[in-house]
Structure 1
């Protein structure tokens, strides 16, 4: 069984622009990063917590979309993404998904 989970993801540098330009609600994406938990006090003096993923790597898993919004693009974007370590673009030509933990 597949279950959708929603998480708050924080992206910086070119990742934010990349996500804004290419990702839409329902897009399949692989995010690699670290967890960060924040706490604050709300207006009723109740302590609240929020855990978010701070993205270090972003891989778009959907097929590219053409200008009409259909999935009939010019190829699969499977492994294309940016690496936060050096901000170099990964064209997706290699595709080493065998090392993924799932």
Structure 2
């Protein structure tokens, strides 16, 4: 019998700057609010937008990266799982929360998107010389 799958994929924009704290063991815990917006047409043909807000938590090295490079307005791709919690608030009332625990994150957009700065990629290395003696198609002028 399968164990089950708890997988979430979100692409959205940060509503605020990330908040990073550290556990007693020194592990980074970064929390963000992520907005995802969907667009649809109503029965009259008018465009309707619907925005959902998600609480996303990053742990460890991913938490350090998110805290350092993400900013309010940054567009980000997140993969993770949903976690539901129940707790008693300071007023004695039971409360519920839904959080996304991130496993993977990819920064999208450029510096102009919310002022986020991204780490530079490693320079692309030259393609190996084409092997003209075989049926393989290889051309160093093609960028892929």
Match of 1:11 in 2: 58
Separation (CA, whole Å) in 1 of partners of 2:109 and 2:82: 24
Q: Which residue of 1 aligns with 2:86?
A: 39
- Structure 1 spans left out of the alignment, 5+ residues: 76-93, 95-102
Runs of 4+ in 1 over 3 A off after TM superposition: none
What is the number of residues matched between the two proteins?
Answer: 71
Distance 1:62 1:8 in 2: 21
* Structure showing the higher helix proportion among its residues: 1
CA RMSD of aligned residues (A): 2.8
Deviations 1:35-70 (A, max 9, x none): 00111111222100011000001011121x28xx59
| TM-score normalised by structure 1 residue count | 0.58
- Whether the 8 Å contact between 2:85 and 2:96 is mirrored in structure 1 is yes
Structure 1 position 20, deviation (Å):
1.1
Unaligned runs of 5+ in 2: 1-38, 40-48, 122-143
Larger Rg: 2
Measure the CA separation in 1 of the matches of 2:116 and 2:57.
28
Report the TM-score, using the length of structure 2 for normalisation: 0.43
